[in-house]
Chains A and B, each alone.
Chain A
Amino acid sequence: MNALQLLMARRRQHLKSQYGFSYGGDLKEDSPYVLYIHPKTHGIALQMKADVGRAESLRSTESSSPEEVAIVFGGDVEQAIFNFRGGEPLEVVSWEELARECSLPPSRPPINTEFILHLLLRGDEQDAVIGDLLERHGRKCARLGKRRADFWFCCEVFWTSLPLLKRALFKLGGLAALSEWVRRHIS
């Protein structure tokens, strides 16, 4: 199960608990899809290929029920999910927001690699660099799946460690040279 399917599974659970029904259907990442749910009929009504424009027209023609929910997957529209309910303006929900809404735990990379960076990074850099890596890992997870995202993360930590290690060694070398100079001139 890839990240997208996992996210949708969570979404289904969320809808089931909220509306008392859920829906099925396969999702593909490469093309935009619309999932259209009609709570009054207690079931999934439609699943169709669509784009944002199509979703807009769907909303305008079939917004009789205030509880209609539709989710549009735009393959290349920055992985955005458009979530709208009848009568309300189209609301853009990001992957992260949806993940939070579905109480999807934030993607966790292999912890040891993160620990390596803790050792090499300065205090002020730790938040920024590790946060950036985690953020990109989360996006890669949604796009490529956890295994490939983890692999990307490990490679990235390796390549990130090299310049940091070089810097740390340079500093250590500088300190050693300084202590040697002090030792010579004092003794």
Chain B
Amino acid sequence: MKTDYIGELEELVLLAILKLGDGAYGAALHETLEDAGRKMSIGALYTTLSRLEEKGLASSRMGEPTAERGGRAKKYFKVKAPGVRALREAESARRKLSPEVGFAFSGGAA
């Protein structure tokens, strides 16, 4: 079975999509990531999103145009099953490694 490895940014974007649920579109994702302390341009966010779509980890659909967006439509994103699996794998890998490098976080490696 093919394993989908994801980068840190991809992981954060997938988590943000999951957090926002049905309201996961570009501006909301950008704001959520910014609130989480991860600043990036909207362009960088969209290149990550299109990479996630190419990998089959996320899907998108066009929403309704709104006046505040100058009549432009929103693009909503959703995490697909392989995306959830990839997140679980990343989390489990981190859990396996964390106890062994735990001293680094507590200042032991300094």
Q: Which A residues have a C-beta under 8 Å from some C-beta of B? A: 96, 99-100, 106, 124-136, 138, 156, 159-164, 167
B68: nearest chain-A partner, CB-CB: A96
CB distance from A159 to the nearest CB of B (A): 4
CB distance from A7 to the nearest CB of B (A): 13
Interface readout for B11-30 with A: 1 if CB under 8 Å, 0 if not? 00000000000000111001
Number of B interface residues in the complex (CB < 8 A): 23
A106 proximity list for chain B (CB < 8 A): 67-68, 70
Tell me, yes or no, whether B1 is within 8 Å of chain A by CB. Answer: no
A127 close to B42 (CB less than 8 A): no
- Identify which of B43-51, B79-87, B92-100, B102-110 touches chain A: B43-51
B26: nearest chain-A partner, CB-CB: A132
13 other A-B residue contacts (CB within 8 Å) besides A129-B26, A129-B43 = A99-B68, A100-B67, A106-B67, A106-B68, A128-B72, A128-B73, A128-B75, A129-B46, A131-B66, A131-B70, A133-B42, A134-B69, A163-B41
Interface of B is mostly: helix
- Taken together as a complex, chains A and B put the C-alpha atoms of A163 and B73 apart, in Å, by 22
CB distance from A129 to the nearest CB of B (A): 6
B89 proximity list for chain A (CB < 8 A): none
Q: Which B residues have a C-beta under 8 Å from some C-beta of A? A: 25-27, 30-31, 41-44, 46-47, 50, 62, 65-70, 72-75
A127 proximity list for chain B (CB < 8 A): 62, 65, 72-73, 75
Interface residue from A124, A136, A161, A163 paired with B27 (Cβ < 8 Å) = A136
Interface residue from A130, A161, A164, A167 paired with B70 (Cβ < 8 Å) = A130
A164 proximity list for chain B (CB < 8 A): 43, 47
- With A106-B68, A132-B30 known as contacts, the answer to whether A159 contacts B44 (CB < 8 A) is yes
Which of B25, B46, B74 has the most chain A CB within a 10 Å cutoff? B46
A160: nearest chain-B partner, CB-CB: B43
- Taken together as a complex, chains A and B put the C-alpha atoms of A159 and B30 apart, in Å, by 14
Interface of A is mostly: helix
- Taken together as a complex, chains A and B put the C-alpha atoms of A128 and B28 apart, in Å, by 12
- Taken together as a complex, chains A and B put the C-alpha atoms of A23 and B42 apart, in Å, by 40
A160 close to B44 (CB less than 8 A): yes
B62 close to A132 (CB less than 8 A): no
- With A96-B67, A100-B67, A106-B67 known as contacts, the answer to whether A156 contacts B75 (CB < 8 A) is no
Interface residue from A99, A100, A134 paired with B72 (Cβ < 8 Å) = A134
What would be 10 A-B contacts, judged by CB atoms less than 8 Å apart?
A99-B68, A100-B67, A125-B46, A129-B26, A129-B46, A130-B72, A131-B69, A131-B73, A132-B26, A134-B69
